Amino acid sequence: RKEVEQDPGPFNVPEGATVAFNCTYSNSASQSFFWYRQDCRKEPKLLMSVYSSGNEDGRFTAQLNRASQYISLLIRDSKLSDSATYLCVVNMDSGYALNFGKGTSLLVTP
Amino acid sequence: GAGVSQSPRYKVAKRGQDVALRCDPISGHVSLFWYQQALGQGPEFLTYFQNEAQLDKSGLPSDRFFAERPEGSVSTLKIQRTQQEDSAVYLCASSLGGVTEAFFGQGTRLTVV
């Protein structure tokens, strides 16, 4: 079983829509959580860290539920430029690896 | 620019050939990671360096894969006797330390024919 599992994609949504991605992780000792964004044939880039209390960055909101080992990313008022693959990333403080999910593809259409 | 630089960007190797992939991290970054990304998949962890010390190599798929960072800066990932299943994008990332934000290079796309 893969350590980080994400919603299967692709998600096709119209501009202005709200879309949510989910992610589950298997290791309860995991300590750090992130969402990365990867454009086609480009390198992953950090979108936002995920904090226990939940956090917001403009149109993006991340939530963490440690009891359910579940992370979410909400994108409001989707823009064409949000089209990308969103990678859920989990790390245990005792290890160095950033463990990536397979990614969820988002396509925002006019 | 001052980002993570990888070379070559593209490499075609004949099966059985040895290859060496280079990573030049952001200056001053202590941590360096190598990842392998197959088509349609997320990056898979290969190995981690803290300065010149290789602290975790649990993700290296076989003893054909070897990584080094002798002076704590530039790193090289070497793959011996390449196989078709080694075809992937190899990503290097660096960070100030531990699991603070990791900055990725553009990757080396390896195709083994």
pLDDT tens readout for residues A28-79: 888 889 999 999 999 999 999 998 889 999 999 999 999 999 999 999 999 9
Interface of B with A (CB under 8 A): 31, 33, 35, 40-45, 48, 50, 55-56, 58-59, 91, 93, 98-99, 101-107
Distance from chain centroid for Cα B25: 11
Q: Closest Cα of chain B to A10: distance in Å?
A: 11
List, run by run, the mean pLDDT of 10-residue segments along chain B (113 residues): 91 98 96 94 93 94 97 97 97 85 95 98
Q: Which tokens hold the place of B71?
A: 């002076």
* Secondary structure (3-state) at B57: coil
A97 close contact with B: CB closer than 8 A:
yes
Distance CA B105, CA A102 (A): 19
What is the pLDDT, as a whole number, of residue A1? 56
Distance CA B21, CA A2 (A): 27
Beta pairing partners, A50: A33
- State the average pLDDT for chain A: 92
